[in-house]
Amino acid sequence: MSKSFDVVVIGGGPGGYIAAIRAAQLGLKTACIDEAARPDGRPALGGTCTNVGCIPSKALLQSSENYEHAGHQFAEHGIQVKGLSVDVAKMLARKDKVVEQNNDGITFLFRKNKVDFFHGRGSFTGSSKTAGADGIEIAVAGKSAESLLAKHVIIATGSNPRALPGADFDEKSILSNTGALAITEVPKRLGVIGAGVIGLEMGSVWRRLGAEVTILEALPVFLGAVDEQIAKEAARVFAKQGLAIHTGVKITRVTNKQTITVEYTDSAGVAQSATFDKLIVSIGRVPNTAGLDAAAIGVKLDERGFVAVDEQCRTNIANVWAIGDVVRGPMLAHKAEEEGVAVAERIAGRYGHVDFNTVPWVIYTSPEISWVGQTEQQLKAAGIEYRAGVFPFMANGRARALGDTTGMVKMLADAKTDRILGVHIIGPMASELIAEAVVAMEFGASSEDIALICHAHPSLSEAMKEAALAVDKRTLNF
Ligand code: FAD
Ligand code: NAI
């Protein structure tokens, strides 16, 4: 006998678990299926983000930054540190604890919101198509083997790391994000393929802990999606920190023996070779539909393997929706969450909306990089007239007190209407500062609106106000 639900969510990552909670809050009888397990077999709810993504990477970024501060920055504050050392095992154990707290938090939230959780793999079955008025059939295989009937299904099965041809992940020498977050000893020579978000974040962690880090990037430009002025500043700062970033390379061969040798041609087309103790491959991610058996019900995938959806996250099959990394759009936890909420609202007959133009991006390096809206190069390409205001953290009192004056806030506003079109930050706490820009853009604010708002002194947020003033060429502190 199948168990019936209004909504069954397949996948308990940030997209799926949030969708399930919101659906349950809206009075819908909701189940969530997730197959991830901890080493002892308990559920590991939270998806890539919680287990091998956002949360553990930020835990290690924090630990490694603390170490770097103690080794290099405390002295200028008059604090002497003797006998500084890293206990990698302890650092990893702390990271694992942070992850577990998040896993348990989601289990608690499911209980609190009355979401039924099934631990196992969810797949459409041959009879999904004909289940008809009673719903769509989902088989759960694994710990809680069951047959479920759903009026609506939300696919939230996420993504997996893309492997480099000829260099399969073994998670010992050639590492995906999973292995990169669990290196037990600081490698002497760490190679990273791909200077994207993971490459820069994980490269920063292991560089701070003492590895020599070389990053090999295929594209000729560094951080091509980032505003050029910000990307240029980032390249300068990262080079100064000791991250060796080579752009325009073409990997020709990877040999994984005692050590890993990467053969490649450099930007001038000259053959090169580099040997590493560990190699992180971070060249993007691919949608995960393995195990879902989408074909059993006829759910269409696009040419790149993503579940094909319309703007509202509807698939080609009535009452089957898909959200998060498994569909088009940025692979970000908060984008997955927003889509999850919007779909739950739509299923409940309410209004749901996600504005892709105001989805913020953050790269958690030091300095952090964040942005929302359009870059200067995008505005130029679109022929939109704009005014730009830039304010350097060097001229911000709080940044000086923190001893962290690298970078700037840059605001781009429409030349005629003054509406904010984009905000780009490189600098301390850029991840937090960007929130003001997101709010401003959601409310259709002008740069003058931000310039007229009272910002606390001394605070980093004053740099946002000053960047807004800079749009009108009237900064007060620069
Ligand atoms: P996922 O989180 O991938 O979750 C999918 C879940 O579905 C998994 O638990 C999986 O086990 C389960 N599943 C799959 N198939 C089935 C099935 N058939 N049956 C049952 N269960 C199934 N994003 C940010 O916004 N900020 C960050 O700082 C950030 N840092 C990151 C760092 C790293 C190293 C990585 C790899 C990613 C990071 N991301 C970050 C991206 C973020 O993790 C993803 O965008 C996000 O997890 C996508 O959420 P999702 O719910 O779509 O899928
Ligand atoms: P990415 O798309 O950010 O970067 C991949 C990089 O690899 C690109 O610069 C690409 O040009 C390069 N590349 C591709 N093929 C290559 C090859 N053969 N040789 C050399 N370089 C090659 O992907 P990444 O870093 O793997 O991360 C995946 C996704 O996870 C991100 O796009 C992001 O959506 C998410 N993420 C988000 C984070 C955040 O929000 N702070 C942190 C980490 C990941």
CATH code of residue 156: 3.50.50.60
Q: Ligand 1 within 6 A of 95 CB? A: no
Q: Give me the number of domains the chain comprises.
A: 3
Token couple for 257: 């023996």
Q: Looking at residue 209, what is its pLDDT? A: 98
A 10 A CB-CB count for 125 gives 16
Instruction: Say if residue 132's pLDDT is above 70.
Output: no
- Whether residues 315 and 379 share a domain: the answer is no
For residues 182-201, give the mean pLDDT: 98
Cα(232)–Cα(375) distance, rounded to whole angstroms? Answer: 13
Q: What is the CATH number of the domain that holds 461?
A: 3.30.390.30
Position 164: which residue type?
L
User: What does the pLDDT average to over 444-462?
Assistant: 98
Residue whose CA is closest, atom 22 of ligand 1? 11
Is residue 477, in this structure, part of any structural domain at all?
no
Residues 218 and 309 in one domain: no
Question: Over pLDDT 70: what percentage of the chain?
Answer: 99
Q: State which of 221, 248, 283 marks the end of a domain.
A: 283
- Determine the Cα–Cα distance for residues 22 and 344; give it in Å rounded to an integer: 6
Does residue 343 line the site of ligand 1, with CB under 6 A? no
Cα–Cα distance for residue pair 215/281, rounded to 1 Å: 10
Residues 262 and 314 in one domain: no
CA dist 183 to 55, 249, 473, Å? 16, 26, 49
Strands 278-281 and 189-193: parallel
340 lines ligand 1 (CB under 6 A): no
Residues 301 and 188 in one domain: no
Q: Same domain for 376 and 391? A: yes
Together in a domain, 12 and 63: yes
Examine the domain organization and report whether 65 and 187 are in the same domain. Answer: no
Q: Compute the distance from residue 200 Cα to the ligand 2 centre, in Å.
A: 9
Q: Is the CB of 285 under 6 A from ligand 2?
A: yes
Run of H or E residues at 235: helix 228-241
State the pLDDT at residue 134. 67
Residues 80 and 48 placed together within one structural domain of the fold:
yes
- In this structure, the answer to whether residues 258 and 242 fall within a common structural domain is yes
Say whether 9 sits in a helix, a strand or coil.
Answer: strand
SS3 265: strand
Among 354, 383, 411, residue at a domain's last position: 354
pLDDT above 70: residue 133: no
113 has a pLDDT exceeding 70: yes
Residue 25, pLDDT > 90, answer yes
Identify whether the C-beta of residue 282 lies closer than 8 Å to the C-beta of residue 216. no
Q: Please identify, among 242, 257, 283, the residue that sits at the C-terminal boundary of a domain.
A: 283
In a domain, residue 428? The reply is: yes
Eight-class DSSP state of 198: H
Give yes or no: residues 72 and 99 share one domain: yes
User: Is 178 found in the same domain as 116?
Assistant: no
Ligand 1, from 110, 117, 157, 288: best to mutate by most atoms within 8 Å of Cβ? 157
User: Looking at the domain assignment, is residue 168 inside a domain?
Assistant: no
SS3 string, 336-369, reads HHHHHHHHHHHHCCCCCCCCHHHCCEEECCCCEE
Same domain? For 197 and 155 the reply is no
Residue 400 is assigned to a structural domain of this protein: yes
The pLDDT of residue 143 is: 77
Quote the domain boundaries for residue 459: 358-471
Residue 37 lies in a domain: yes
Cβ–Cβ under 8 Å, residues 157 and 292: yes
Q: What is the three-class DSSP state of 167?
A: strand
Supply the residues annotated as catalytic.
457
Atom of ligand 2 nearest to the CA of 177: 26
Atom of ligand 2 nearest to the CA of 54: 42
Instruction: Assess if residue 165 is contained within a domain.
Output: no
pLDDT for residue 212: 98
Q: Percent of the chain, pLDDT > 90?
A: 97
**Cβ(122) – ligand 1 distance below 6 Å:** yes
**pLDDT for residue 38 is more than 80:** yes
Q: What is the CA(478)–ligand 1 centre distance, in A?
A: 42
Give the distance (Å) from ligand 1 centre to CA of residue 48.
3
Q: What is the mean pLDDT of residues 72-97?
A: 97
Is residue 20 within 8 Å of 338, Cβ to Cβ?
no
Q: What is the pLDDT of residue 144?
A: 79
Phi-psi region of 132 (alpha: psi -120 to 50; beta: other; left: phi over 0): left
* pLDDT, tens digit, 9 for 90 and up, residues 314-334: 999 999 999 999 999 999 999
Answer yes or no: are the C-beta atoms of 358 and 373 closer than 8 Å: yes
Distance CA 254, CA 276 (A): 11
pLDDT band for position 127 (cuts 50, 70, 90): confident
- The residue whose C-alpha atom lies closest to atom 3 belonging to ligand 1 is 158
Distance 195 CA to ligand 2 centre (A): 7
